[in-house]
Amino acid sequence: MHISDRSAEHPDTCNPVIVAIVGAECSGKSSLAEALGGYYGIPWLHEYARDYLTMRTADTPYDTEDLRRIGKEQWASEVRFLGQIRQADCKLAILDTDLLVIDVWWQLKYRQMNAWVQKQLQQQPPRYYLLTRPDIPWVADPLREAPEGREDIHRTYRRVLTMRNLNFAEISGSPEERLELATASIQAWQSNEHSR
């Protein structure tokens, strides 16, 4: 069932504060999602792209069709996950990436925007963003592409978030510092939502 359908049928259903973690490759997004899940004792939505690219057996590089499939499944997974979160009456939803990552990825890789991604970004439920800085050591991975360009990618994320007028906090430092910064930002956002 789509989120909008649940909201229409159950007007008192909890609308959780949605927090999406975005950033350059190897900037600690998944580690932060896992840490936040453990801190709050809640599930989080995993990134689909790694699963897809790991399962992909083609010898040729991925292309826009692959990226489109990744984006559509990430979106579908998010819709299912948020429905489960609402049903469980959770007050917080943690997403390890969302369609903003696909948007930036598409722009950087192919120098163009995808119309479907742009439409979904305009229609997605409101959310806050944690932007992870690439101030941690690069860890080699067959799926990673840009060890030398992480700061440029980080600046692109900051520009896109600012251009879209999205509420975000930059997260950096040690794992402990990152968790402290993230939970402080989430607490402030939750207080802001409750005061509305």
pTM of the model: 0.88
DSSP string, 21-64: EEESTTSSHHHHHHHHHHHHT--EEPPHHHHHHHH---SSPP-H
> What is the extent of the structural domain holding 62?
3-194
Q: Which pLDDT value is given to residue 140? A: 64
Cα 40 to Cα 43, 90, 158, 169, 179: the distances in Å are: 9, 10, 26, 19, 11
Measured distance CA(196)–CA(182) in Å, rounded: 22
Can you give the pLDDT of all 196 residues of the chain as single tens digits? 223 333 333 334 568 999 999 999 889 999 999 999 999 999 999 999 888 888 876 567 888 999 999 999 999 999 999 999 999 999 999 999 999 999 999 999 999 999 999 999 999 999 999 999 999 877 766 566 666 788 999 999 999 999 999 999 999 999 999 999 999 999 999 998 877 7
**What is the number of structural domains in the chain?**
1
CATH code of residue 38: 3.40.50.300
Retrieve residue 59's tokens. 């010898």
Question: What is residue 4's three-state secondary structure?
Answer: helix
